[in-house]
Amino acid sequence: MQKKIIPQPQVESQHYRFENYFNFERWSSLFYQLKEIVTRSEIKSVLEVGPGTKSLEKLVGEFRPDVNYHSVDISEHINPTYIAGVTKIPVEDSSFNLVCVFQVLEHIPYEEFENAIIELKRVSNSYVFISLPDSTPAIRFLVKIPFFRKISFLIKVPKPQKHVFNGQHYWEIGKSGYNLSKIKEDILKHFDIQKSYVPFENYRHRFFILTKKTEKNVKNI
């Protein structure tokens, strides 16, 4: 009989203390997470996988009080709606307009990545929003001259390096064996990528805005 493996939290609750966890880059990523939700009026229900500090829940409640928010996590001390892992979420099919998973999937081995993607697709009826760590070096350019429009752009410069497990991240985009094209290829088996981008303010996080593939599209792959 195969022994059942129960996911264990990788971080203690004090990890999320303000002085330990938050910096400008994380705040900017939180802005983009919120923006992607509040600007879509069709989203009325959200399931967040791995809510962490639960900051997004508070902000969604402030700026989109019409949204029915729930969360799922393996850590009881976070007090999520559901206690479970990302590959087996205890809700019915198509339960939420949006399932969002920000900086979570790198905490599971890549061999489980596609299983997680399939489960996110099952639970969502429209959207899945993901962000992942992107270790690809970047060149950022910003110019602001008085009376002229600000000019800014970001260029990623691929330089693969071997990934070393640090107790939390099993893999990252840009590391050897995990280039962006591979990640997109695995996602595209199950979703259409509406857009993918790296915020200028935090070039280490890459966002994917995904919509569910129709059965017709899936058969054509």
Average pLDDT over residues 97-107: 97
The strand ranges marked E within the chain are: 45-49, 68-73, 82-83, 96-102, 124-133, 138-143, 151-156, 191-197, 205-212
Segment 48-71 mean pLDDT = 96
On the question of pLDDT at 182 being above 50, the answer is yes
**Nearest alpha carbon to residue 99 among 59, 69, 55:** 69
- The predicted-structure confidence for 115-133, as pLDDT tens digits, reads as follows 999 999 999 999 999 999 9
CATH of domain 13-136+164-219: 3.40.50.150
Tokens representing 3? Answer: 């022994």
pTM, two decimals, is 0.84
Read off the pLDDT of each residue in 85-107 and give the average, rounded to a whole number: 97
Tens of pLDDT, residue by residue over 1-35, are: 444 445 556 655 555 554 555 567 878 999 999 99
Letter string b/e over residues 148-180, b meaning 16 or more CB atoms within 10 A of that residue's CB: eeeeeeeebeeeeeebeeeeebbbbbbbeebeb
**pLDDT confidence bin for 201, thresholds 50/70/90:** very high
Structure tokens belonging to residue 63: 């700026």
**Bridge partners, residue 129, by sequence:** 100, 209
Instruction: Check residue 219 and give its pLDDT.
Output: 41
Assess whether pLDDT exceeds 90 at residue 210: yes
The domain locations on the chain are 13-136+164-219
Three-state DSSP class for residue 113: helix
A 10 A CB-CB count for 186 gives: 14
Q: What angle do CA 201, 205, 211 make, to 5 degrees?
A: 115
Residue among 194, 193, 59, 198 at smallest CA distance from 131 = 198
| Each residue's pLDDT tens digit, 134-171 | 999 999 999 989 988 889 889 999 888 999 998 999 99
